[in-house]
Amino acid sequence: VIVPSLLACLILGGQLDRQTRAIFASNLAAQLETFTLILGNNENSLAKGVVRTAADNTLQVTLDLGIATQLAHYLDQQRGVLEIDFLAAYQLDGKSISYSSAADEPGRGQWRIARTVDNVGADCAVARQPLSITICDGVAYLTSLQPVDRRQDANRGDAATGNPAGERLGYLLGGVRVAGPALIDALRQRQITFPAIWADDWVVYANLPVEQPLELGTADHPAQQYTIAGETYLGAAKRLEIGGQRLTYGVLAPLAPLRVSLAKSVLTVVGAGLVLAILTLIALSFIANRISRPIQLLREGAARIGAGELDRRLDIHTGDELEALANQFNRMAADLQTSYAGLEHKVEERTAELSEARDAAEGALRELRTAQASLIQAEKMASLGQLTAGIAHEIKNPLNFVNNFASLSNELLGELKEIAAPAIAGLDANKRAEIDETMELLSGNLERIAEHGKRADGIVKSMLEHSRGGSGERQAVDLNALLEESLNLAYHGARAQDQGFNITLERDFDKAMKPVELVPQDIARVFLNLFGNGFYAANKRAHAPNGDAAFRPVLHVATHDLGDAIEIKVRDNGTGIPPAIRDKLFQPFFTTKPTGEGTGLGLSISYDIVTQQHGGTIAVDSEEGKFTEFTIRLPRTAKATATRATI
């Protein structure tokens, strides 16, 4: 703001200076006009006055008659009337007759009519012309020389000179100082303080030390600037041609007062400008403060809210649109905060729902995988079971033949012994002994055939039992009682086979167990199988070559009523099952037991009974050298089984 206002002040100052100079110059030009008028007036009155006097009869008569005293008197009188400095009369030959002037007139007695051209205008020698400038005794005069001619009708009175009528009588010379006190006074009265006049290059009048005439101004630039005695003036000049001489006259005026007044006005303008600028600045800063501070607050607030500080509020009380804006802003922030909080809550809810759904889906997927695995297993087992049953059926007939023919052959061998006895008795002792030995060997072989045939028959029978599934009727059974019965049977069976067998039986039966619908004979077979396997494994560990002497074999049986289903756990602390064979456990004929001790059909049949017949599940958990635990789950009712099967 300051820079432009200062610039404006400078431009204004310059403009003012130029304008003032122009006015000053035109003022000077006007003064010069006045000067011209006054000068012109002087010239005119001088010339006309001298002409009129020259035409006067009194002058002509007195001149003609050469009456010096009367002429002098007359000239004095006329000089007073014309208000000129001197008046003189000359004879035709230029001889001065009479002269009138003030007593102190410088050129007194020296005026003459110039004969040669050389000294015209100087040394009081006046040129023969109506108007000229003549310098006399250091003073410049405007002079007018008029011939005095006798008129035709002139009354000559008593005059009796030899001069004929119409003759030239002499000359009349009038003069006035170019810069007389009257002129200077008149100029001063018109405020022209520093006039100057030059005749050619000679200074006629100047109250300032100017040697050379001022330069003439033009219409566009009437005034010029001059430096006189260290001061600056503005001057204008004009020129007149008077009788072959140049009269230059001019007016001067000092620039200093103008400068001072100019400086004053410029200073006033600059000061006013500065005050205005400062006032504007103060007003601007006040307005800026009033507007920009709240705007700054608004901007900061918006940035903070943008950065997440939703509880941020603006505190603006300007009582104008900005306050309204801030209030609007605060309301917006509050709305934002509310909806943000709502949004967060909703997001949390949705996340929780989603994770629940995901858990459920994962659970379902797990169940589906298990179901799929058990379905595949079931399918495999079913087809293997059928295969087994088929094989058994095919083997049964030839096996019957083997068994029948073995016992028949044994009987035949007995008959052969009886029949051949007499013949054998006739033979020598060596031969007899040989025959007897062969007979014995033969009968032993036959017995072994019959024995192994029976074993094979047993296997085939249990294989056939595989295919017999589903024949039994379901009935509500006390599961705990059925387990107790099977445990006793298994234990005593084992004791019957091996006198030294011993095991601790632990029971953890669910007292609240309600009756379960199942086929008791078949489920009992499953239990017997599991118990038998458990006894075997625990016993094997007890008799291991470098086993722990303090080891006590234990079989633990537990039941749980789960409402829609029941659960049976059979756990032994035997050898355990290596992970590598866990998949094959339920396959028919899979056994790790030595020949004659296991058929590999127990778990296979059990699997069929639990899963196919009762719609339950059987699973195994084991750690090698520590324990094996079979878990059976059975649905409580046949209906539940059917539903499950459908699923």
Question: Which residues are near Mg ion by CB under 5 A?
Answer: 533, 602
Count of alpha carbons within 13 angstroms of residue 279, beta-carbon side:
6
Q: Which is nearer to ligand ADP, 53 or 622 (CB)?
A: 622
CB of 600 to Mg ion, least distance (A): 8
Q: Give the Å distances, CA to CA, from 298 to 305, 316, 606.
A: 11, 9, 82
- For the bound state, the minimum distance from the C-beta of residue 536 to ligand ADP, rounded and expressed in Å, comes to 7
98 binds, among ligand ADP, Mg ion, none (CB under 5 to 8 A by kind): none
Classified as helix, coil or strand, 543 is coil
- The CA distance from 518 to 243, in Å, is 171
The greatest distance separating any two alpha carbons of the chain, rounded to the nearest whole angstrom, comes to 258
Which of the listed partners (ligand ADP, Mg ion, none) does 224 bind, with a CB threshold of 5 to 8 Å by partner kind? none
Q: How far is the CB of 619 from ligand ADP (least distance, A)?
A: 13
133 binds, among Mg ion, ligand ADP, none (CB under 5 to 8 A by kind): none
Smallest distance from ligand ADP to CB 607, Å? 9
- Report the residue number, 220 or 597, with the smaller CB distance to Mg ion: 597
Q: Which is nearer to ligand ADP, 304 or 584 (CB)?
A: 584
Per the CB < 8 A criterion, the answer to whether 121 and 132 are in contact is yes
Q: Give the containing element (helix H, strand E) for 614.
A: none
Return the one option of Mg ion, ligand ADP, none that residue 577 interacts with (CB less than 5 to 8 A, by type). ligand ADP
CA distances from 117 to 76, 110, 131 (A): 30, 18, 15
Residue placing its CB nearer to Mg ion in the complex, 42 or 587: 587
Edge-to-edge strands, sheet with 245-254: 202-206, 194-199, 245-254, 231-242, 224-228
At its nearest, how many Å lie between ligand ADP and the CB of residue 504?
15
Among ligand ADP, Mg ion, none, residue 590 binds (CB under 5-8 Å by kind): ligand ADP
Name the residue number minimizing CB distance to ligand ADP: 602
* Rounded least distance, CB 408 to ligand ADP, Å: 31
Q: Are 520 and 471 in contact (CB under 8 A)?
A: no
Taking the C-alpha atoms of 60, 65, 67 and 71 in order, what is their torsion angle to the nearest 10 degrees? 10
Taking the complex as a whole, how short is the minimal distance between the CB of residue 621 and Mg ion, in angstroms? Answer: 18
CA 111 to chain centroid, in Å, comes to: 104
Q: Which residue is nearest to Mg ion (CB)?
A: 602
Tell me, what amino acid is at 11?
Answer: I
Closer CB to ligand ADP, residue 25 or residue 538? Answer: 538
Which partner in Mg ion, ligand ADP, none is near 170 (CB below 5 to 8 A by kind)? none
Nearer to ligand ADP, 220 or 597 (CB): 597
- Which option in Mg ion, ligand ADP, none does residue 501 bind, with CB closer than 5 to 8 A by kind? none
Which CB sits closer to ligand ADP, 446 or 537?
537
**Shortest reach from residue 479's CB to Mg ion, in Å:** 22
Partner whose footprint covers residue 467, from Mg ion, ligand ADP, none (CB < 5 to 8 Å by kind): none
Give the span between the Cα atoms of 29 and 31, in whole angstroms: 5
3-state secondary structure of 87: strand
Q: Which residues bind ligand ADP (CB under 6 A)?
A: 529, 533-534, 537, 572, 574-575, 577, 585, 590-593, 598-604, 628
Cβ proximity to ligand ADP, 205 vs 536, nearer residue: 536
Cβ within 8 Å of residue 169, ≥6 positions away: 60, 63, 64, 92, 148, 149, 150, 163
Asked whether the CA dihedral 427, 428, 431, 434 is positive or negative, the reply is: positive
- Strand 112-113 relative to strand 125-126, pairing: parallel
